[in-house]
Structures are given as C-alpha cells and as structure tokens.
Amino acid sequence: MHIAGARPNFPKAAPVIRALERHGVAQRLVHTGQHYDERMSEVFFRQLGLPEPDENLAVGSGSHARQTAEMMTRLETYFQDTGPALVVVYGDVNSTLAATLVATKLAIPVAHVEAGLRSFNRAMPEEINRLVTDRLSDLLFATSPEALVQLGNEGIAAQKVHFVGNPMIDTLLANRDRVEPATIRDQLGLSERYVVATLHRPANVDDAADAAELAKAMHGVAEQIEVVLPLHPRGRHRLAAAGLFPHPGIRVVDPQGYLEFLGLIQGARAVLTDSGGVQEETTVLGVPCLTLRAETERPVTITHGTNRLVTRAGLADEVRALLAADRRTADWPVPPLWDGRAGERIAEVIAEFVGSR
C-alpha cells in the first residue's frame, strides 16, 4: 500500500508503482489529501499516468499536530480493514510520518523511499518526520551515498538499507522529452532571460522580519533579471504582506503542473529555492541552483557542484556573479544511480520482501 499526500510524493511514487505492476504485486494507492488543491495534486495523477487513488482521506490543511492526528485516525481504520502486507511511504511530509506510526503500531512493515536524508536542523518539521520514519522502517531505500553513511551512523541495521538511486529522477528522465520550456514561457509571457524562485519554508516566510528581509533580497535580484515565482498558497499572504509583490521585476504565478514546472526550470538562467526536491531536479537538468537555507538534507547537490547555500543578505550578489559567469551544468555527470532505474531496484527488493512473508 502506497501512501502519498503532498506534491513531492507523486513523482517519487510513480516509477515504483509501475515497476511493481511488472512484478505482479497487488497494490493500493492512498491519497491522504494533505495537498488537496488541483494544481498541487490531481494534475500530477494526469501528467504522470498514476492510477486513481483507491482511497482519498481528504484530510486537508491544519496544524502539524491536527493534520497528522487526523491522518493517523483515518489510516488506522483503513489499514485494519484492508490488511496490507507492506506500507510504502515517501519523503518527509506529515503523511509519511502518520502512516509510519500507524503501520508500526499495527505490526505492519514499512518501507521508506528516500531514507537517510538529514538537515541536522530539528526546527524543521520534516527533519523530525525523517528521523522517526527511518527509525521505525523495515526497508530503507537510500538515494545517495551520503544517506547510506548517515543511516549507518545512526545504527540502522545494514540488511534493512538499500542504495537504489532516486525515483524522482526516474520520473524526470521519463518525461524529459515532454518538457517544453518555450511553451510555458510563452504562456506566462516571460522573456527569454529569467530566474525561477520557489519559496515556502517557515524559516523564510513565517516570521514577519524574515519575510521582509527575503522581500528585500528578491527585489535586489529582480533589479538584475526577471523573476518568476510560482507561489505556494501557504506563503502568498505572508510574502504579499512583507512587500515582495507587486514589483515590476517579479511575476507571481499559481503553482504549476509537473511538466510546466520542469519547463520553467529548464529554461531558466538559475533557480532560487528553499525546496528540497528542486535542488535535485536542477542537478539533473543542468541549471544552477541557489538554496536560501543554512543547511540542506541533500548534500550530494552541493558536492556535485550544481547547488550552493546562500543567505538572504548575500543573494543579490550571488545572482550577479552567477549571471556574469553564465554557467550551465548540463554536461556534468549525474550523482551515482540517478539513471532512471531506481523504481526497478525498489520494486525488486519489495517483491522479494513481500514474497518471503
């Protein structure tokens, strides 16, 4: 049983579901409804060819505690009614934590796709979700060598851990020929010279002073190059209140579908983000990335040379230097096992695990 609930889960789950179909493994897909806006979830099912969910819990938004508790309550009933042999969770969202806790207490094994990522910042809710999920999981699928090392450092039994590569990159590579940068650029009325920004982390947008500093930094970027900002619903009000927009150099647009967003990235001179997955997508697409955070749980993007951590105060200068260098990284080799076959590797392990039980 696959548990998905938020936009980042869907590209990770799609290749695993398809590969398990080829192994003849009976599957169910549960959508918790953590992301419920059409542009944040349903469009992904259409574009990625995912099956319609067998169950949509329609949990919706709320505080971390209320949202997680509601998911746990509904998942407990569903697991008891259906009796899955294995629960597969993805990434680090609240849906992942809720399903892991419920399955473990019902003695149902858990597989965690994207295990071992650590920011070492427990102020991030996602970090707590990662730590708890990895500690309780029976199968841990790592996307990078650094994740393998971290799981070993934490004492996770080696026989539980499998280095499989990155299934989100499977989805990117499978759809790369469908990505049309010029089309989305024309649809949004963008120039050929722009950067993409994605900003939603609490550390950047929740505190009024932080949001105001971010707005000032983004204005410094917009004086150099057009900025297109697909804005997560969570941050729109706060960033507007902070004075980020309206601004003549900043184009605020609604969240984009999967293919449209990849088109935006591929056509950009650079990407400014506080998102985790975007750091990985830019690494494969060969677009320089500047991450507005003090740390990242995806250090492979830093060591690979495609991503840099930057401060709000230094952002405008970093963008100026990057634009002057006109650096693209498309010809660089990708990290190990980011080859489009992670879903197949995961499916092989899962098929053997459930078969043995």
Closest CA to 339 of 284, 288, 286: 284
Q: Contact, 87 vs 51, CB < 8 A?
A: no
Residue with tokens 């469908």: 178
N-terminal to C-terminal alpha carbon distance within the chain: 15
Measured in degrees and rounded to the nearest 5, phi and psi for residue 315 equal -60, -50
CA nearest 271: which of 308, 234, 233, 305? Answer: 308
Q: Name the DSSP class of 120.
A: S
Residue with tokens 């990290």: 335
182-191 long-range contacts, Cβ below 8 Å, gap at least 24? 182/267, 183/263, 184/256, 184/260, 184/263, 184/264, 184/267, 185/263, 185/264, 185/267, 187/260, 188/228, 188/251, 188/253, 188/264, 189/251, 190/226, 190/228, 190/251, 191/226
Could you tell me which residues come within 8 angstroms of residue 70 by beta carbon, excluding any fewer than 6 positions away? 59, 62
User: Which of 35, 133, 86, 37 has its CA nearest to residue 351?
Assistant: 86
Which residue numbers are catalytic? 200
- Is the bond preceding 246 in cis, omega lying within 30 degrees of 0? yes
Rg (CA), the chain: 20
Question: Per-residue b/e over 133-157, b at no fewer than 16 CB within 10 Å?
Answer: bbebbbbbbbbbbbbbebbeeeebe
Q: How far apart are CA 301 and CA 292, in angstroms?
A: 14
